[in-house]
């Protein structure tokens, strides 16, 4: 536990500092007013956050190279190896982008005694959570937290600012119109969950609208969603949700190749978000194509991960307390089963039913708990966080953290579990002592950006 965390907890217990109620008392922006927030932010050493982001960007490059390095560019062979559905291969080929894959996404990690361990890598424009990057400013507007932040030289990154800058950089016009495009029929379901994303992007000066893939058209070489011309399509649909909307996708591809629009990110990001890609990277058979430096990278950040095959079931039954089962293309914790929460017969049955059906098993990454003081009682309770670290083409883009009480089942999904809470981490110097109380106010973290 770092110095900032230790001191924050001490002050929360005194009930005199005002820090215990800082989150509850903050004037939150509209994007966060419906959020279920943890009672405090977390604090992490800046060098550790930067090192994790650097590792993730390097890992991104390795993952993107696997189809060529292992399968000579044979997309069907790669997709089969990561447990993908064969019927999606023609779609992935048809709408493959001409440009290299954009390094953009959110990695979910546990932080243990020896550093960060990667749980999954959500690659694509539709990743969620960057509205939490607005929480630091709300906290810093409170006198008690601002004083604490200055004393401990805390810094923060506004993820929405980085995302907006990235979208401007890739757009064909300097003041782009950004469309968040959902799958056909999904608009009603997505309107409320996407409201914070839209609010944050507008806060950072972007013109944003929401639509469905069926509304996408080309006119005169320009891209339209409904009647509005758009420059960037922020993709909130999956490759298997495009049936019947081929004309819309073709319009996106044509205008993108003409330099008049951008799909952020392309459907090819599906190849990297699939958890089977992590299993492929973790497998010793990949050693032949990895450099020594790349293997050190994967050993450092990636837990043992394998495709669940019938031949692996007996081993997984024996190692139940150390393994978690995940669908290759699942999200938000759906379909995830922690072996240590199941009786052995139940675990064995689950493994047999899912072997060879597009699932991975991953060795449990043991996280360090984060104590949180309950503002109502003054009692401290351990919470288990999942650290979401955003990476953009320019590097570290902030974080979004979700957490569950240590007594929970180990599957930490914000949308699937109303007991899960969200927060953000401030960066703090690794070894520096607290600054004098009259220090300048906390500044955004330029180095981490």
Q: What is the pLDDT of residues 278-333, one digit of tens each?
A: 999 998 889 999 999 999 999 999 999 999 999 999 999 999 999 999 999 866 66
Residue 282 located in a structural domain: no
What is residue 239's predicted lDDT score, i.e. its pLDDT?
86
Residue 286 located in a structural domain: no
Residue 290 located in a structural domain: no
* Collapsed DSSP state (helix, strand, coil) of residue 106: strand
What is residue 447's predicted lDDT score, i.e. its pLDDT?
30
Low-confidence winner among 191-200, 288-297, 415-424 (lowest mean pLDDT): 415-424
Q: Please give the residue that has the higher pLDDT: either 123 or 416.
A: 123
What is residue 203's predicted lDDT score, i.e. its pLDDT?
96
Query: 1: Cβ–Cβ under 8 A, 6 or more apart, which residues?
Result: none
Task: Pull the structure tokens for residue 128.
Answer: 């969620």
**Number of domains present in the structure of the chain:** 1
pLDDT, averaged across the chain: 90
pLDDT digits (tens, 9 = 90+) for 371-385: 999 998 889 999 999
Residue 175 burial (C-beta neighbours within 10 Å; 0-12, 13-18, 19+): exposed
Residue 256 burial (C-beta neighbours within 10 Å; 0-12, 13-18, 19+): buried
Percent of the chain with pLDDT over 70: 94
* CA distance readout (Å), 206 to 31, 91, 233: 15, 31, 13
Residue 189 located in a structural domain: yes
Q: Please give the residue that has the higher pLDDT: either 444 or 376.
A: 376
Residue 25 located in a structural domain: yes
Low-confidence winner among 100-104, 233-237, 362-366 (lowest mean pLDDT): 100-104
> In whole angstroms, what is the distance from residue 370 CA to residue 51 CA?
21
What is residue 272's predicted lDDT score, i.e. its pLDDT?
87
The residue range of the domain holding 158 is 3-273+368-428
> In whole angstroms, what is the distance from residue 296 CA to residue 134 CA?
35
Residue 336 located in a structural domain: no
> Above 60 in pLDDT, residue 433?
no
Query: 417: Cβ–Cβ under 8 A, 6 or more apart, which residues?
Result: 333, 404, 408, 411
Question: Band of the pLDDT at 99, cuts 50, 70, 90?
Answer: low
What mean pLDDT do residues 201-213 have? 97
What mean pLDDT do residues 202-210 have? 97
CA 117 to chain centre: 14
What mean pLDDT do residues 191-219 have? 96
C-alpha R_g of the chain = 22
Percent of the chain with pLDDT over 90: 75
Strands (E), 134-290: 177-182, 207-212, 216-219, 222-225, 228-230, 232-236, 262-264
What region, left, alpha or beta, does residue 69 occupy, with left being phi > 0 and alpha being psi -120 to 50 degrees?
A: alpha
Q: Is the previous residue joined to 242 through a cis bond, with omega within 30 degrees of 0?
A: no
> Above 90 in pLDDT, residue 118?
yes
Greatest mean pLDDT among 88-97, 262-271, 324-333 lies in 262-271
Looking at 112-158, list the stretches that DSSP marks H as alpha helix, in order from N- to C-terminal side: 135-140, 143-151
Handedness of CA 285, 291, 297, 299 (dihedral sign): positive
What mean pLDDT do residues 98-114 have? 85
- Which strand ranges, in their side-by-side order, compose the sheet holding 337-338? 305-307, 359-363, 323-327, 337-338
* CA distance readout (Å), 349 to 227, 318, 324, 338: 52, 13, 14, 14
What is residue 331's predicted lDDT score, i.e. its pLDDT?
66
Residue 285 located in a structural domain: no
> In whole angstroms, what is the distance from residue 326 CA to residue 120 CA?
10
Residue 438 located in a structural domain: no
């Amino acid at each position: 536990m770092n110095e900032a965390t230790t001191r924050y907890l001490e002050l929360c217990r005194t009930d005199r500092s005002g820090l215990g109620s800082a989150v509850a008392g903050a004037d939150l922006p509209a994007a966060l007013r419906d959020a279920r927030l943890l009672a405090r932010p977390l604090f992490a050493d800046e060098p550790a956050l930067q090192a994790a982001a650097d590792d993730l960007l390097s890992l991104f490059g390795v993952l993107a190279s696997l189809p060529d390095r292992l399968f000579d560019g044979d997309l069907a062979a790669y997709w089969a190896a990561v447990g993908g559905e064969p019927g999606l291969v023609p779609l992935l080929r048809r709408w493959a982008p001409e440009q290299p894959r954009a390094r953009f996404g959110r990695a979910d990690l546990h932080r243990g005694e020896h550093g960060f361990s990667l749980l999954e890598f959500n690659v694509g424009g539709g990743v969620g959570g960057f509205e939490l990057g607005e929480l630091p400013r709300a906290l810093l507007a409170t006198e008690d937290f601002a004083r604490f932040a200055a004393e401990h030289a805390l810094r923060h990154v506004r993820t929405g600012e980085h995302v907006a800058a990235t979208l401007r950089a890739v757009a064909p016009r300097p003041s782009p119109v950004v469309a968040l495009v959902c799958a056909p029929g999904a608009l009603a379901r997505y309107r409320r969950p996407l409201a914070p994303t839209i609010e944050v992007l507008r806060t950072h000066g972007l013109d944003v609208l929401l639509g469905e893939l069926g509304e996408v058209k080309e006119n005169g070489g320009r891209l339209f969603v409904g009647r509005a011309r758009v420059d960037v399509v922020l993709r909130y649909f999956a490759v298997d949700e495009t049936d019947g909307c081929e004309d819309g996708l073709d319009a996106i591809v044509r205008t993108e190749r003409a330099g008049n629009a951008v799909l952020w990110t392309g459907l090819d990001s599906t190849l990297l978000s699939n958890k089977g890609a992590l299993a492929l990277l973790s497998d010793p058979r990949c050693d032949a194509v990895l450099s020594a430096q790349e293997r050190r990278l994967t050993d450092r950040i990636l837990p043992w991960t394998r495709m669940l095959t019938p031949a692996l079931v007996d081993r997984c039954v024996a190692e139940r307390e150390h393994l978690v089962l995940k669908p290759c293309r699942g999200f938000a914790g759906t379909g995830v089963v922690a072996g240590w929460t199941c009786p052995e017969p139940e675990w064995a049955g689950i493994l047999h039913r899912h072997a060879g059906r597009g699932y991975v098993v991953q060795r449990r990454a043991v996280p360090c708990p984060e104590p949180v003081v309950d503002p109502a009682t003054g009692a401290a309770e351990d919470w288990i966080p999942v650290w979401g670290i955003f990476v953009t083409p320019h590097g570290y883009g902030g974080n979004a953290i979700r957490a569950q009480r240590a007594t929970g089942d180990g599957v930490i999904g914000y949308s699937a579990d109303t007991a899960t809470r969200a927060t953000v981490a401030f960066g703090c110097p690794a070894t520096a002592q607290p600054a004098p109380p009259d220090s300048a106010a906390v500044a955004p973290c330029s180095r981490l950006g």
